[in-house]
Amino acid sequence: MTFPTNFWWGAATSGPQSEGRFKKKHRNIFDYWYDQSPQDFHAQVGPDVASNFYNSYEEDILLMKEIGLNSVRTSIQWSRLIDDFETASVNQEGVDFYNRVIDCFIENGIRPVINLCHFDLPVELLEKYGGWESKYVIDLYAKYAEKCFELFSDRVKDWFTFNEPMVIVDGGYLYKFHYPKIVDGKKAIQVAYNLALASAKAIQKFNRMKLSEKGCRIGQILNLTPSYGASSSKEDQSAVEFSELWCNRLFLDSAIKGEFPEKLISVLRKDEVLWESTEEEAAIIKENTIQVLGVNFYHPHRVKQPEISPDSLTVDWMPNRYFDEYDMPGRRMNVDKGWEIYPKAIYDIAKVIKEEYGNIDWFVSESGMGVSREDRYLNADGMIEDNYRIQFITEHLQWLEKAIAEGANCFGYHLWTPIDCWSWMNAYRNRYGFISNDIHTQTKTIKKSGYWFKEVAATNGKSLTDYQK
């Protein structure tokens, strides 16, 4: 297998999931939620320590270097960097920390890729202004983004405005798996729009600072879940169409084309739930599109026609009035996380990006397999033999390589995650890393997949062919 030169062989984490809450003045929504209801989190483990990256970033980055990663994504926590949200004045300890982390990555030959928001809204902005429902919060976010560019763009060249904005919508405003755990379709739609606008306003700041001339680029990271219908019937295919519009194209179109899909707008208008927007905002979204796309791909979305026709519904608006989940018989599952494994979808995503989104430069910004009780796979030397992860990555890279050979502009593959990290409600139940973490002692040990990936990176993917033999 051949991959382009300078391919990113790396991994991704986030500030709130790795750093721990050490020396943070403000709380993000997860810090707050855990303080209120620790019982909501697996084994009552919260984000207080996470994987201790705040204290052990030097050792952790050395381990990442040891497994051959040439690029790593993490995120800046708004609630750590900023002292006063209205003025975006900084917390100096936060600035010092991120400076040290960025420098340490670079000194170790690892390209730091920085995301500005990984679900971790400062809780004060939710309490005072209603969080992402508020357009004022969008402007505060843009100020924070500008501050990050000022502080770090001399060394950070790859910027992302949001990780998985759709998860903020789904988790916080529809299906109650993230704070503020509201169920309200109309609010969810406004939040989706506001996040698209917030991303464009951050990019506007980036553009005004002319950072492209300094070799920087900016994008968004989207979780794409290609939709496949239970059958080719008209009804199932119309479920596919809406699932695509809502789950994938809402953010793809706004980020890349600078406008929302017409068909989606007409459905939301017919249902009387369309967002509130202005012409001035439309111009900002149109003029400040992304230059690079991150694709988080974990699982496909299998759908079928909804049991009840959308027209007969009187309940509040939910997107799944237009599709039902389809539990396809015989599908291959990662039972621990409950997600289907379907590597070919990465090829299908590449095709859509190439044919319908101008073949924009993109990379796989997250891919991975969360497995519980990985100590089941410890060998006599104390190393986790995660052959399933090696198999999983290999299959995804095979499809990716085929897509690249056919012209996809994909420039990298990042596993979720370098070192086992804290995960929202699941805490440390499912492990994703190349490197394990004993959360009681914070002892970090490279897994078999870490050594294996080192070889993949060193040979720019050629060793994958041997592995298959």
Catalytic residue among 19, 133, 366, 401: 366
List binders of ligand BGP among 227-246 (CB under 6 A): none
Instruction: Using the minimum distance from each CB to ligand BGP, give the nearer residue, 117 or 211.
Output: 117
Q: How far is the CB of 332 from ligand BGP (least distance, A)?
A: 18
Distance of CA 238 to the CA centre of its chain: 27
Catalytic residue among 164, 244, 340, 401: 164
By the rule CB under 6 A, 163 interacts with ligand BGP: yes
- Checking DSSP bridges between strand 292-296 and strand 301-304, what pairing results, if any? unpaired
By the rule CB under 6 A, 450 interacts with ligand BGP: no
Q: How far is the CB of 185 from ligand BGP (least distance, A)?
A: 21
What span, in angstroms and rounded, lies between the C-alpha atoms of 114 and 216? 11
Neighbours of 435 (CB within 10 A): 23
| Residue position matching structure tokens 């990662």 | 334
The three-state secondary structure class of 384 is strand
Q: How far is the CB of 73 from ligand BGP (least distance, A)?
A: 10
By the rule CB under 6 A, 14 interacts with ligand BGP: yes
Q: Among residues 75, 199, 398, 430, which is the contact residue for ligand BGP, using CB under 6 A? A: 430
Q: Is 164 a catalytic residue?
A: yes
What span, in angstroms and rounded, lies between the C-alpha atoms of 374 and 84? 42
Q: Among residues 366, 374, 386, 420, which is the contact residue for ligand BGP, using CB under 6 A? A: 366
Stretch in the footprint of ligand BGP (CB under 6 A) among 101-109, 163-171, 208-216, 351-359? 163-171
Q: How far is the CB of 51 from ligand BGP (least distance, A)?
A: 13
Q: CB within 8 A of 157, min separation 6: which ones?
A: 111, 215, 216, 217
By the rule CB under 6 A, 167 interacts with ligand BGP: yes
What span, in angstroms and rounded, lies between the C-alpha atoms of 369 and 395? 12
Contact between residue 16 and residue 26 where contact means Cβ atoms under 8 Å apart: no
Cα–Cα distances in angstroms (integers) from residue 342 to residues 102, 404, 421, 439, 464, in the given order: 35, 18, 24, 31, 19
* Closest listed residue to residue 119, CA positions, set 129, 130, 132, 128: 132
Q: Among residues 80, 249, 337, 454, which is the contact residue for ligand BGP, using CB under 6 A? A: 337
Binding mask 390-419 for ligand BGP (x = CB under 6 A): --------------------------x---
Residues near ligand BGP (CB under 6 A) are: 14, 17, 163-164, 167, 223, 296, 337, 366, 370, 416, 423-424, 426, 430
Q: Which residues are tagged catalytic?
A: 164, 366
